[in-house]
Copies of this chain bind each other. A is one copy, B any other.
Amino acid sequence: MNKVAIIGVGHTKFGRLEDKDLMELLSEASLKAIEDSNTDNKDFDSVYVGAMSPGIFNQLSGIASALVDKISLIPAAADHIKNGPASGGSAIKAGFQAIASGMSDLVLVVGGEKMTHITTPGYVTSNVATLTHPEAERRHGVSLPSFGGMLTRAYLEKYNAELDWISDIAIKNHKNGTLNQNAHFQRTIEDFMKSAIQKGKGSWDNVHDFLNDDKTNPVIADPLRLFHICPISDGSAALVLCNADNAKEFCDTPIIISGIGQATDTHIVYEREDITSLKALRTCSEQAYKMAKKEPQDIDVCEAHDAFSILEAIQSEDLGFFKKGEGAKAAHEGLTEIGGKIPINPSGGLKARGHPLGATGVAQVVELFWQLRGEAGKRQVEGAETGITCNFGGFGNNILSILVERI
């Protein structure tokens, strides 16, 4: 199997990007990655585009074919990879396999989504809810936030945890997001609180009081409140991959993709043995660790899929960093902050960097690329040499874990 290196990355601003359409966002991230990788005049063999629902959100199909034309990579092969909110992770895996097999030597992987232009209430959430099981779940009105609420309640009860600890994950990620100029949100939750106080909307002694107040942080899916849930965002992120044997032609410090795992679980959530544990993540992270010959304790930095803050706690357990039931408490104790035992989501995560569905899995690896090259600025995890991701397609029924290393 050929080794696969990342030699350049691109990342648009994430957020409410009113003046850019999906193809412009994909192009912007792609061209940044191509420039960053010094491959401007090279022939790309393949392009893989991760996006969840450009047909429904943007009335576009054939986006991969359209992109190669727009950024002048014809006649490169081009495919669109879909795996819900893990479309980006799956696109990376497709690009990895193209090079690992020897079918391609130089590959562009780009993920993106454009959603904030949709003004019909519930349109985005309803379409994302098509990931749930149509008969057993969706027809009863289940949406992904309702699963997030149910999972939070089950976890808090099973492990005697506190909702404030889940809030601490959101607080950390918003804090990290202020250190990331690409993040959707540029303010800490304390900033939001101070702003509300200044506007005379209330007075709180601390940020948890602010977060537990129905006026400022309404319940969305009991017990989850607004600040426990990621936003709807626009954005794109891209990677240039090449055969690692050639990587030094393009850059001094390539980052190697040394492990990739992907696993599925039951579509119907209630069929799982234990909803507070992600069997698919345990399986796929074991695959990634084994392939890279690493253990959880070898990991210096992690990008997790905190679409709901509870998920980061559970993922930190199923990735092997903490025992079952101890992830939320670990976050509360600061172990997952930058400078903590295992920094999780230094980028701000889905909560603060934002969650343009198909972009997320790629943005996670872009963040690890910067962290492992020591280029993450104010949010740098000192000495990071090895990182791992968790990227969620569906609600725990299709998960990828990608392990990267500086070698």
Contact = CB atoms under 8 A, between A and B. Distances in A.
A283 interface: yes
Contacts of A64: 82-83, 398
A100 B1 CA distance: 9
Contacts of A265: 74-75
Q: Is the interface of A mostly helix, strand, loop or mixed?
A: mixed
Interface string A24-35: 000000000000
B79 A94 contact: yes
Interface stretch (A51-59, A206-214, A220-228, A309-317): A51-59
Given A83-B64, A398-B78, A264 B69 contact: yes
Interface in A245-271: 260, 262-268
A319 to B, nearest CB: 16
Given A94-B94, A262-B77, A83 B62 contact: yes
B77 A61 contact: no
A264 B98 contact: no
Interface in A65-122: 65-66, 68-70, 73-84, 90, 93-94, 96-98, 100-103
A76 B264 contact: yes
**5 closest A-B pairs (Cβ-Cβ)?**
A77-B262, A100-B101, A101-B101, A65-B398, A69-B267
26 contacts: A46-B262, A55-B55, A55-B56, A59-B130, A60-B130, A61-B130, A62-B131, A64-B82, A65-B84, A65-B394, A69-B264, A69-B266, A69-B268, A70-B267, A74-B264, A75-B264, A75-B279, A75-B280, A75-B284, A78-B262, A79-B82, A79-B93, A94-B94, A97-B98, A100-B102, A101-B101
